[in-house]
Amino acid sequence: MFGKKNQHIVVAGMGQGGMVAAIYLGKAGFDVDIYEKAKEGEVSHPWTDDTMTAVFKRCGIPMPPKEAYSQKNNWLWVSPGVDRRLMFPGTAPGVEISVDRHMLSDHFAKLATEAGCKVHYETPVKGLLTDGDRIIGIELQNGKRVKADLVIDALGIDSVLRPQAPKKWEIQAHEADDDLMLGYRQFYKRNPGYVPPEYPDYRACMYLKHLGGAGLSWCNLSPDNNMDMLIGRLYGMTKDEMEVMQKDLFKRHADQLTDEVVIPGRFVKIGTRYSLSKIVADGYALVGDSAFMSIPLTGCGIESSMDAGVYLSETIIANKGKEMTAKNLWPYQVKYFKKKAGLFAAIDVLKRWVLNLDGDLVDWVFYKVASPKIVESISGMMFRGMNPIVGVWNILSSLPFSLARLFSKPSILKEIGVTLKAAVHALLVAMKIPKKYDEDKIHQWVMDYEASFPHKK
Ligand SMILES: Cc1cc2nc3c(=O)[nH]c(=O)nc-3n(C[C@H](O)[C@H](O)[C@H](O)COP(=O)(O)OP(=O)(O)OC[C@H]3O[C@@H](n4cnc5c(N)ncnc54)[C@H](O)[C@@H]3O)c2cc1C
């Protein structure tokens, strides 16, 4: 099939990375078909998520229409013992937005269609077509078989295709329990009597290790003035456990919330792990959540999938007319690891440590080390016109006390040292990805990379 003028690319799922790649490939003269299970206008989650605006410029993709987004809230972090709140400095206005996910998907679909791609809605993908170890297309749930020179898997975290990749490619089929956070997200009508604060601060509370469990919960006044509530737990949670945390948030935010549900709750999986060690095979490439391309814990999956979509399309376009083998697609994986996955690997190690820390210890750090004076002075200077002389004075006067308290617990200092060393090690291993395609060297590197992450037994 290769060598034809118009190579056929199948994009499975309308994930952002797949859509960015599709737009570039369509423009470059590839024959692109996109298969999405959702209806037109209902693709992705029925809510807004946050992303940096710079990614659109960097990826050469126009911003979505103005009605699709608004300024992101700044987050107030709350310690597990709950009465200590720290407002972490957010970004300046316009730098980060909350974007409507349905409208963002519509925006990508419009650009892809203009680039000559065909979008097939309500067409679920079922499986991979293979010829030996090579992927040669997909099978749709309606029974149709679609041949392709390359299948791009942009199906998200529950990709049905990933577990079907031939074993030779070492593409991890199933994740471990601590690779995912199970989240329950529901939106409520805001109490009409509640007056939101003048500043965007203090509208969004992030509860670290909420009620002591490994995870986080949030209550956030969403851009449409509803209350967005999320409860997230590593290693999963039962419905009863979720309801206990839900009740707790209701108590804490009684002045803001009504019990009228505006977007019904749903359980969702959120990837909180390092990126997959193999993201290419003969005739197959993964992009976005299907390859765990988000910062462990803090997210930003929209941004990193879009960036990865550009790296993938650059590699495909550079190989136009050639067979889409793992070897030819390898520069995509190398670029993704150098630019993104190395850093995510280090963050993964830190995340595993933080989420398994004792709640009392996190409280201690909030109370004794993370001085509100420092945090509030930084955000005050950034957002509320605090006099820089006052701000800098506050920081300098509080810093010695924070450091002295940290040094008063040598066991923690030792643990921090060990964890930082492991994080740097993971970063260095990830960055040592072989530049040239050599199966033996890549296999050894995959083993070293996987060994960098201390999974909880
Ligand atoms: C609660 C929650 C909050 C989040 N908050 C943020 C945030 O604030 N900022 C941020 O950057 N990221 C956030 N994320 C992560 C973000 O959603 C993803 O990282 C990002 O969308 C990249 O995922 P993706 O594009 O690869 O896949 P997805 O966005 O999951 O897209 C996959 C697509 O494939 C389709 N699909 C799935 N299976 C099939 C099938 N069999 N056949 C056909 N189509 C199929 C789906 O319908 C979907 O359209 C959040 C995620 C969750 C769950």
Instruction: Assess whether pLDDT exceeds 50 at residue 272.
Output: yes
Closest ligand 1 atom to residue 154 Cα is 26
Q: Which residues line ligand 1 (CB under 6 A)?
A: 13-17, 35-38, 43-44, 49-51, 124-125, 154-156, 160, 183, 185, 230, 268, 270, 288-290, 294, 299-303, 305
Measure 45 CA to ligand 1 centroid, in angstroms: 8
More confident site: 231 or 173 = 231
Query: What proportion of the chain, given as a percentage, has pLDDT over 70?
Result: 90
User: Given ligand 1 and candidates 14, 206, 228, which is best to mutate, with the most ligand atoms within 8 Å of its CB?
Assistant: 14
> What is the overall mean pLDDT for the chain?
88
pLDDT tens digits along 44-54? 999 999 898 99
**Closest C-alpha residue for ligand 1 atom 21:** 302
Q: What is the pLDDT of residues 18-35, one digit of tens each?
A: 999 999 999 999 999 999
Higher pLDDT, 381 or 247: 247
Quick one: pLDDT at residue 437? 97
As a whole number, mean pLDDT of residues 189-214 equals 77
Q: What's the mean pLDDT in 415-431?
A: 92
**pTM for this structure?**
0.91
379 CB neighbour count, 10 Å cutoff: 20
Q: Is the pLDDT of residue 277 over 90?
A: yes
Question: pLDDT grade, residue 3 (50/70/90)?
Answer: very low
Cα of 106 vs centre of ligand 1, distance in Å, is 14
- 61-77 average pLDDT score: 87
33, 37, 97, 336: which to mutate for ligand 1, most atoms within 8 A of CB? 37
Percent of the chain topping pLDDT 90: 61
Average pLDDT of span 203-222: 85
Fold held by 8-70+92-175+273-332: FAD/NAD(P)-binding domain (3.50.50)
Pick from 268, 275, 289 the residue to mutate for probing ligand 1's pocket: most ligand atoms within 8 Å of its CB: 289
Task: Answer whether residue 1 shows pLDDT above 50.
Answer: no
Mean pLDDT lowest for which of 209-223, 299-313, 376-390, 405-419? 376-390
Span from the CA of 274 to the centroid of ligand 1 (angstroms): 17
